[in-house]
Amino acid sequence: MARLLLLGDLHLSTTGPAVPPGCPDLDAVEVDAIVSIGDVVDDNAEHAGDPAVGEAYEERGRAFFERLNAVGVPVVAVPGNHDPAACTRRLTEGLENVAVAHGRTIDGTSSPEPALDGLRFVGWGCEQFDLTPAFEYDRYPGIVDTDAARESPAQRATRSAGLVESTVARFLDGDLTASEAAAELGVAPDRRAACASELDALAAEFASLTGLLCGDADGDAESGSESDGRPDAATTVLLAHESPFHVAFDHHHSEDGADARLHKGSIPLKLAVAAAGPEVVFGGHTHVRGRDVVETTAGYADLYNPGSPGVAFVEIDPDTGSLQVP
């Protein structure tokens, strides 16, 4: 079994100890690897209005990654939207045990930790602070029924998500054009062109994700993959900052009222998981701790979101792909 320390959505401020509350004693922790799925800090140099404030956030994040690096085990980090790719690279530059897995595969076979042999980490993070999805289905009247008297928020959310997921899947399979999918979703005629454009952008992201998961170098978001493809016997662990769409924990913590239960996860991420079949998926962003499964072409993917601040010890069996969350 490979024992991992999973960290997500810590949102460190500019003050406080180098190791945030809730984290274990890093001088005594016994794990085979540490995995961070983004939003280690709450802001960054490009986004903060005051350059001095942005620098203070990054100094805080750098100090934390230096502590993780000192544990002496592999650290795999995925950028979040609060610490997007350029920021996460600055926070980890020169740290010998830390690898930024954005659009990359990190093969555990090359790790000095024997327990990681047979694991394949695939990273999918964020390029910028703005995490606007390729397809914002809930901004198109007709897709989400606003008749709250007819059904509960949870029922409305489930029905809307089911319609979106099934229709987008048919579009990606080639059964519908983008315009036909927009019409089938109930989008008004004057907005179907905009919706179709968003669906095309979703399809491009889906193609990149599935290519990456299947070991196709052309699907990488950046060069530098440390694997030459997907070994048949490898257990694939997808590290994503976002949560997949239409799962138990993809309603965002900041929403309230009638929209509180709307599914806000990544649609291309969910459908790429179903198509490519990773065994384990770690996702965050919503700050909602939870676990779920997704049916895939290879069986089932086990999904886990550690919440916020997300700190969890998890174990993965490289031989079977089973995930244990104590």
Over residues 64-91, the mean pLDDT reads: 97
pLDDT score for 162: 95
Q: What is the pLDDT of residues 26-35, one digit of tens each?
A: 999 999 999 9
Residue given tokens 């229709």 in the structure block: 167
pLDDT score for 151: 74
Answer yes or no: is pLDDT of 109 > 90.
no
Which one, of 35, 211, 210, lies nearest residue 119 by Cα? Answer: 35
Q: Does domain 2-131+204-324 have CATH number 3.60.21.10?
A: yes
Phi (first) and psi of residue 25, to 5 degrees: -65, 105
Cite the residue boundaries of each domain of the chain with CATH code 3.60.21.10: 2-131+204-324
What's the number of CA atoms in the CB half-sphere (13 Å) around residue 76?
31
Answer yes or no: is pLDDT of 254 > 70.
no
Q: Could you give the CA distance from residue 136 to residue 262 in angstroms, rounded to a whole number?
A: 12
The pTM for the full model equals 0.92
pLDDT score for 228: 44
Q: What is the pLDDT of residues 278-317, one digit of tens each?
A: 999 999 999 999 999 999 999 999 999 999 999 999 999 9
Q: pLDDT-derived band of residue 229, with 50, 70 and 90 as boundaries?
A: low
Which one, of 4, 35, 32, lies nearest residue 99 by Cα? Answer: 35
Let me know: does 123 contact 239? Beta carbons within 8 Å. yes
